[in-house]
Structures are given as C-alpha cells and as structure tokens.
Amino acid sequence: MDLFIYNASYQVWICIECRYAVSPRQFDTHLCSHHRHHPAARTAELRQAALAEMLKWPWLQPTREPCRLHPPDSAPIPGLPVYPDFRCPRCTYMSRALATIRSHLAHIHPETQRLRGRASKAKSDIAAAAEHVSCQRFFVSGSGSGFFSMIAPSPIRQERLASTVSEAEFIQAQVRRDLQESLADEAGQAMQITAQKHATEVSP
Ligand SMILES: [Zn+2]
Ligand SMILES: [Zn+2]
C-alpha cells in the first residue's frame, strides 16, 4: 500500500502521511480515521487485503514485544519526524523542555541542588548543561512511543554548520530526502519480490 513504508531493521510499517508507525492491530482504525478516502481503504475488504499483503513481512506489535533499540549513534529513521530534545547532564533522561529537565534534576539528582543558595549562580543552574539531542519515536502513544536519540552523520553536521537551520530542522530535511530515495528503492524491491515469488528457484 503506497501510504506505508516498511522498515525491515525495526519491523515496522510507517505511515508516510502521518509520519509514525502503525501496528497491525491499529491498522484498520488508522485507515478509517485518517485515510478514509484513500482508494485502497474505502471498503473493509480493501483494508483487509492491504493488511494481509503487509503482514507478509514481519510486523511488530509493540504491546507484545518491545521495539528494537535504536543505537544512539545511528542515522535517523526515514519517514519519522525529528524532534529537538534536551538530555539530562547526569543520565540518559530526555525531554523537549528545559523546565522538565530542571524538575527531573531536582527529583532524581537531588545532589545537584545543593549548590543553590550562597553558591555562585553559574553553578546553580546545572540544567543549562543539558545537551541538545535529536530524537525520534515510532509510535505516538502507548507501547513503543518512547523517544530515542540519534546523531547526524558527520557530513550532515558539517553541512549544517554552513547553514542557519537548527539541527532538528536539518535532519528533518535529510530524512525527507532519504524517504524519497527509499520509496524509489521500495518500488524497485517490490517488483523484485514479486518476481522472486513467481520464480521456481531463487538465483544466487
Ligand atoms: Zn496515516
Ligand atoms: Zn538525569
């Protein structure tokens, strides 16, 4: 179905219009509520046929098994938005708001608060040391909706230095470019898969 792109590494189907992953269980509801007018989603039979076709690939159901971990030094996943985030300077906790990092520091790392009072103001705001990170997530709610960080490959970083956009905006543009490329690839692969299915022997 042309609305979805398959990610074989994470075994998820990502809706390219909504820009998040949809589980097999959410599939029918997702089509009915977001893409009712799509030619391949107009009837229950068409939706069922699309589901059956997509189920030919391993498809993660996040309520039953956890999403595969995305290594923090990996490139962004095509089709998913990139969010700017802050990472706690003391652990791997991430949030989009610096205020949340401050309250996390106060509750989880109370030792960082002892410098307040007469201590220098520079030392009292440890949250200012929070690192800027770029994050993505597969699902928008429930299981599998946790954010994970990724880093931009070095050529991207270098190119970004020459531009004025933020890192997240820049990666987003890169992801869109990758997505267009992988959609072109997918069309090629789909033809290959069909061809292999009909072949009696798979050539080496
Ligand atoms: Zn969608
Ligand atoms: Zn922390």
Q: Could you report the per-residue pLDDT of 56-108, keeping only the tens digit for each?
A: 999 999 999 888 888 877 889 999 999 888 889 998 888 888 899 999 999 99
Closest of 81, 108, 80, 84 to residue 96, by C-alpha: 84
Separation between Cα atoms, residue 163 and residue 159, nearest integer Å: 7
In the reported structure, the alpha carbon of residue 71 is separated from the centroid of ligand 1 by a whole-number distance in angstroms of 26
Q: Which long-range contacts (CB under 8 A, 24 or more apart) does 66-72 make?
A: 66/143, 66/144, 67/10, 67/12, 67/138, 67/139, 67/144, 68/9, 68/10, 68/11, 69/148, 70/10, 70/136, 70/148, 70/150, 72/148, 72/149, 72/150, 72/151
| H, E, C per residue of 70-111 | CCCCCCCCCCCCCEEEEECCCCCCEECCHHHHHHHHHHHCHH
Q: What is the ipTM of this complex?
A: 0.79
In the reported structure, the alpha carbon of residue 114 is separated from the centroid of ligand 2 by a whole-number distance in angstroms of 16
In the reported structure, the alpha carbon of residue 155 is separated from the centroid of ligand 1 by a whole-number distance in angstroms of 31
In the reported structure, the alpha carbon of residue 129 is separated from the centroid of ligand 2 by a whole-number distance in angstroms of 12
Residue 203: pLDDT above 50?
no
Q: Which residues surround ligand 1, an ion (CB under 5 A)?
A: 15, 17-18, 34
More confident residue, 95 or 123: 95
In the reported structure, the alpha carbon of residue 119 is separated from the centroid of ligand 2 by a whole-number distance in angstroms of 21
In the reported structure, the alpha carbon of residue 100 is separated from the centroid of ligand 2 by a whole-number distance in angstroms of 11
Q: What is the pLDDT of residue 150?
A: 81
Ligand nearest to the CA of 93: 2
Q: What is the pLDDT of residue 75?
A: 87
More confident residue, 128 or 158: 128
Among the ranges given (16-25, 48-57, 150-159), the one the predictor scored with the smallest mean pLDDT: 150-159
In the reported structure, the alpha carbon of residue 88 is separated from the centroid of ligand 2 by a whole-number distance in angstroms of 5
Ligand nearest to the CA of 21: 1
The domain locations on the chain are 4-56, 82-114+123-152
71 vs 43, 107, 176, 188, 199, CA distance in Å? Answer: 40, 27, 21, 28, 37
Residue 157 carries which side chain, given as an amino acid letter?
R
Ligand nearest to the CA of 36: 1
Q: What is the pLDDT of residue 132?
A: 87
Separation between Cα atoms, residue 129 and residue 61, nearest integer Å: 37
